């Protein structure tokens, strides 16, 4: 190399290999070690739909300041095979340093890449086999960031202690050999890493989107979750199942999605606070249950982690293609609320709020995430749970209890069987105030109007969009859901006083004062991860916004910061 590559302040490290090669193990080990050392961290992954083989990659951004978004840039690449190098080739630049076995990555005459040769196979063979290659890689990267060996050893003991002393000893040896290589790269000047640590980062928590949704559910009083496992929604089920004993949660893996949604509705009927987690294909099977919740006015919280469709589509990739599916799900007309968190804090607080709104208004409430948000994680300050109370809206019933009593707000007192003297009747047919089946046309009109009367107060409670940037903007950049952190960083990078960002974390119903944000702009650009600009259409229909330009992406990958910057520069 003609000069030492110097990486400063914000470093993108990418690990890539086949499923089964331990990329996820390296990610988990490094995330813990780097965070404990005081570095700000962001991580996300993209992976193929297979148990073995293929190419999966994980990006770790290690920074002197908080980072929460995906970038295309690769500063340090650790590919575990040739296929991995090909997989991320479009992201490699002349500044990228590749660490790995040169003979397995490039030909002897190939000088198109900067490769630092690390004999992983030979070292791993000396220790006990190829299985230790990923731990050697962990040691190399940890050393580049100045992680103390004692910290590495302690964490390896904790991580592998249950597998016996021999396994722990070999992993410590593998990490140590990797550290020797990393130290040598620094001392010889082949790589320079300049980052600042922050003592307060050690007090942060580091969680994934799936964990944030699960924690928000617990804060919302969730005590029942039913699901048929489906990527990428399953982490929420597994998290809550893992917390079931601590928080008295019943976690039920149903035989199919139809059973899952009906179990949740039944749980609410019995007085529980229930949640369903699924993805688009599973949700399609739940739609009759959604409509059932609509007519019996049952609270229901549904988490839908989006992935590309139609049908099986790209089952492990990301997209924002199910907004229309949720908005128009279930036959008939009934009110609903749709939240789409933009970051981990919103994932927690909006999930908690979903339970509150569902219970208050006796309606289905939807949380729209996607693979990108669910599988991303980064360090954040400890979640603020002060002032959070679970308010139960169940009433003790009297002898003349009417489940669907006509009220000015459309909200009837909700009783549950066995709590009071009243009979709690629900039915999927149209019904009278007592819940008994009716075909009376006048009663039908009264009941439809009653249910729809909830819409106005729901609009009153709608969350306003978040405006960032100059209030004197002429161009308004709009995004919703998980694109928020990427678009926010991109807009910051543009550094233009005439641009502002408007993010929606509630996409239906829209806040009453939505339109004025657009009236002040000469240009409106909506960025979303689908092919048909579904949210832009909502803005046109429900806020009367006509002149909208769009940036869309639907190849299964998340937007990157650089990509959004380039797209906006191209338009502007």
Phi (first) and psi of residue 292, to 5 degrees: -60, -45
| Same domain flag for 101 and 153 | yes
pLDDT tens, position by position, 196-225:
999 889 899 999 999 999 999 999 999 999
Q: What's the confidence (pLDDT) of residue 385?
A: 85
Domain-embedded: residue 361: yes
Work out how many domains the chain is built from and give that number. Answer: 4
Residue with tokens 């050392």: 37
Contact status, residue 112 vs residue 145, Cβ threshold 8 Å:
no
Query: Hey, is 553 helix, strand or coil?
Result: coil
Mean pLDDT of 38-60: 92
Domain-embedded: residue 566: yes
3-state secondary structure 175-233: HHHHHHHHHHHHHCCCCEEECCCCHHHHHCEEEEHHHHHHHHHHHCCCCEEEECCCCCC
pLDDT tens, position by position, 86-138:
999 999 999 999 999 998 898 877 888 889 999 999 999 999 998 899 999 99
Residue with tokens 């992976």: 47
| Same domain flag for 546 and 533 | yes
Q: What's the confidence (pLDDT) of residue 53?
A: 83
Contact status, residue 214 vs residue 192, Cβ threshold 8 Å:
no
pTM: 0.96
| Same domain flag for 221 and 150 | no
Per DSSP bridges, beta strands 523-528 and 549-552 are parallel
pLDDT tens, position by position, 413-432:
999 999 999 999 999 999 99
Report DSSP letters for 70-118, one per residue.
--S--SEEEESSHHHHHHTGGG--TT-EEEE-HHHHS-TT--SSEEEE-
- The residue with greater pLDDT, 517 or 82, is 517
pLDDT tens, position by position, 519-535:
999 999 999 999 999 99
| Same domain flag for 51 and 173 | yes
Label residue 426 exposed, middle or buried (CB < 10 Å: 0-12, 13-18, 19+): middle
- Its sign, for the CA torsion 208, 211, 217, 219, is negative
Query: Hey, is 480 helix, strand or coil?
Result: strand
Assign residue 373 the CATH number of its domain. 3.40.50.970
> Could you give the CA distance from residue 473 to residue 476 in angstroms, rounded to a whole number?
7
3-state percent helix, strand, coil for the chain, nearest multiple of 5: 40, 20, 40
> Could you give the CA distance from residue 55 to residue 45 in angstroms, rounded to a whole number?
11
Domain-embedded: residue 123: yes
| Across 141-145, 384-388, 398-402, 544-548, least confident range | 384-388
What are the tokens at 126? 């000396």
What are the tokens at 358? 């569902």
Mean pLDDT of 409-413: 97
The yes-or-no verdict on residue 314 having pLDDT over 70 is: yes
Mean pLDDT of 494-518: 97
Report DSSP letters for 460-511, one per residue.
HTPPPPEEEE-TT-SEEEEEEGGGHHHHHHHHHHHT-TTEEEEEESEEESPP
Q: What's the confidence (pLDDT) of residue 245?
A: 96
Domain-embedded: residue 389: no
- Domain membership of residue 548 as a residue range: 466-571
Q: What's the confidence (pLDDT) of residue 187?
A: 94
Q: At what angle do helices 165-187 and 120-127 cross, to 10 degrees?
A: 150
Strand order across the 337-339 sheet: 250-253, 224-227, 274-278, 300-306, 364-370, 337-339, 506-508
| Same domain flag for 161 and 79 | yes
Domain-embedded: residue 387: no
> Could you give the CA distance from residue 534 to residue 323 in angstroms, rounded to a whole number?
7
Mean pLDDT of 428-454: 98
| Same domain flag for 402 and 477 | no
Contact status, residue 537 vs residue 487, Cβ threshold 8 Å:
no
From 169, 203, 237, give the residue that closes a domain.
203
| Across 162-166, 260-264, 349-353, 475-479, least confident range | 162-166
What are the tokens at 315? 């089952």
From 461, 484, 506, give the residue that closes a domain.
461
Assign residue 173 the CATH number of its domain. 3.40.920.10
Label residue 516 exposed, middle or buried (CB < 10 Å: 0-12, 13-18, 19+): exposed
> Could you give the CA distance from residue 497 to residue 517 in angstroms, rounded to a whole number?
16
How many alpha carbons lie under 13 Å from residue 414 in its C-beta half-sphere?
Answer: 20
| Same domain flag for 89 and 236 | no
Label residue 560 exposed, middle or buried (CB < 10 Å: 0-12, 13-18, 19+): buried
Residue with tokens 């190939």: 110
Kindly report the average pLDDT of the chain as a whole number: 95
> Could you give the CA distance from residue 154 to residue 171 in angstroms, rounded to a whole number?
11
Contact status, residue 189 vs residue 5, Cβ threshold 8 Å:
no
Domain-embedded: residue 167: yes
> Could you give the CA distance from residue 519 to residue 415 in angstroms, rounded to a whole number?
45
> Could you give the CA distance from residue 436 to residue 84 in angstroms, rounded to a whole number?
62
Greatest extent of the chain over all pairs of C-alpha atoms, in Å: 88
What are the tokens at 188? 């010889």
- Its sign, for the CA torsion 69, 74, 79, 83, is positive
- Its sign, for the CA torsion 413, 416, 419, 423, is positive
In 495-546, which residue ranges form alpha helices assigned H by DSSP? 515-519, 534-543
Q: From 338, 379, 69, 15, select the one nearest 202 (Cα to Cα).
A: 379
Q: What's the confidence (pLDDT) of residue 558?
A: 97
Q: What's the confidence (pLDDT) of residue 1?
A: 46
| Same domain flag for 452 and 508 | no
The yes-or-no verdict on residue 355 having pLDDT over 70 is: yes
Q: From 357, 298, 289, select the one nearest 329 (Cα to Cα).
A: 289
Q: Which residues pair with 76 in a beta bridge?
A: 13, 97
| Same domain flag for 26 and 44 | yes
What are the tokens at 490? 């991109």
Provide the pLDDT confidence category of residue 52 given band limits of 50, 70 and 90: confident
> Could you give the CA distance from residue 274 to residue 280 in angstroms, rounded to a whole number?
19
| Same domain flag for 275 and 217 | yes
Contact status, residue 399 vs residue 235, Cβ threshold 8 Å:
no
| Same domain flag for 180 and 214 | no
Domain-embedded: residue 535: yes
From 172, 203, 234, give the residue that closes a domain.
203
Contact status, residue 63 vs residue 40, Cβ threshold 8 Å:
yes
Q: Which residues pair with 83 in a beta bridge?
A: none
| Same domain flag for 516 and 566 | yes
The yes-or-no verdict on residue 2 having pLDDT over 70 is: no
Mean pLDDT of 59-81: 96
- CA dihedral 28→30→35→39, nearest 10 degrees, is -140
């Amino acid at each position: 190399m003609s000069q030492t590559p110097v990486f400063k302040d914000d470093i993108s490290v990418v690990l890539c290999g086949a499923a089964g090669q331990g990329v996820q193990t390296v990610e988990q080990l490094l995330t813990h070690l780097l965070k404990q050392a005081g570095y700000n961290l962001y991580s996300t992954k993209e992976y193929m739909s297979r148990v073995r083989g293929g190419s999966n990659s994980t990006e770790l951004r290690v920074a002197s300041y908080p980072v929460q978004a995906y970038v295309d840039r690769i500063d340090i690449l650790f590919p575990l095979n040739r296929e991995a190098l090909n997989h991320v080739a479009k992201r490699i630049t002349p500044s990228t340093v590749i660490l790995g076995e040169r003979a397995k990555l490039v030909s002897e005459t190939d000088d198109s890449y900067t490769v630092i040769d690390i004999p992983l196979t030979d070292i791993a063979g000396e220790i006990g086999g190829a299985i230790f290659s990923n731990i050697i890689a962990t040691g190399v990267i940890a050393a580049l960031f100045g992680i103390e060996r004692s910290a590495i050893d302690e964490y390896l003991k904790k991580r592998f202690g249950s597998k016996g002393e021999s396994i722990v000893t070999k992993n410590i040896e593998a990490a140590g050999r990797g550290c020797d290589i990393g130290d040598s790269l620094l001392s010889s000047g082949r790589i320079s890493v300049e980052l600042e640590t922050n003592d307060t980062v050690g007090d942060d928590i580091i969680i994934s989107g799936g964990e944030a949704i699960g924690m928000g559910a617990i804060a919302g009083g969730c005590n029942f979750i039913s699901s048929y496992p489906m990527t990428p929604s399953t982490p929420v089920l597994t998290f809550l199942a893992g917390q079931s004993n601590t928080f008295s949660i019943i976690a039920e893996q149903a035989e199919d999605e139809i059973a899952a949604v009906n179990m949740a509705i039944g749980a609410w009927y019995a007085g529980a606070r229930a949640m369903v987690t699924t993805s688009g294909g599973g949700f399609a099977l739940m739609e009759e249950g959604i409509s059932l919740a609509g007519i019996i006015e049952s609270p229901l919280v549904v988490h839908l982690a989006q992935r590309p469709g139609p049908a099986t589509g790209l089952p492990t990739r990301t997209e924002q293609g199910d907004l229309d599916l949720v908005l128009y799900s279930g036959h008939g007309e009934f009110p609903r609320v749709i939240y789409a968190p933009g970051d981990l804090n919103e994932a927690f607080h909006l999930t908690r709020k979903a339970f509150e709104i569902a219970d208050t208004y006796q309606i289905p409430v939807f949380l729209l995430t996607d693979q990108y948000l669910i599988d991303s994680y980064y360090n954040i300050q400890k979640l603020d749970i002060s002032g959070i109370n679970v308010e139960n809206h169940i009433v003790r019933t009297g002898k003349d209890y009417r489940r669907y009593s006509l009220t000015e707000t459309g909200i009837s007192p909700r009783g549950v069987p066995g709590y009071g003297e009243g009979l709690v009747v629900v039915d999927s047919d149209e019904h009278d105030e007592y819940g008994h089946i009716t075909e009376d046309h006048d009663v039908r009109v009264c009941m439809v109007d009653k249910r729809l009367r909830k819409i106005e107060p729901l609009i009153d409670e709608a969350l306003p969009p978040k405006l960032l940037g100059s209030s004197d903007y002429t161009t308004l950049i709009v995004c919703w859901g998980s694109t928020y952190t990427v678009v926010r960083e991109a807009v910051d990078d543009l550094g233009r006083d005439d641009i502002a960002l408007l993010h929606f974390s509630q996409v239906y119903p829209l806040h009453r004062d939505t339109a004025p944000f657009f009236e002040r702009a000469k240009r409106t650009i909506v960025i979303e991860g689908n092919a048909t600009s579904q949210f832009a259409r909502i803005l046109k229909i429900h806020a009367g916004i006509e002149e909208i330009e769009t940036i869309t992406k639907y190849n299964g990958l998340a937007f990157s910061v650089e990509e959004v910057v380039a797209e906006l520069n191209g338009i502007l």
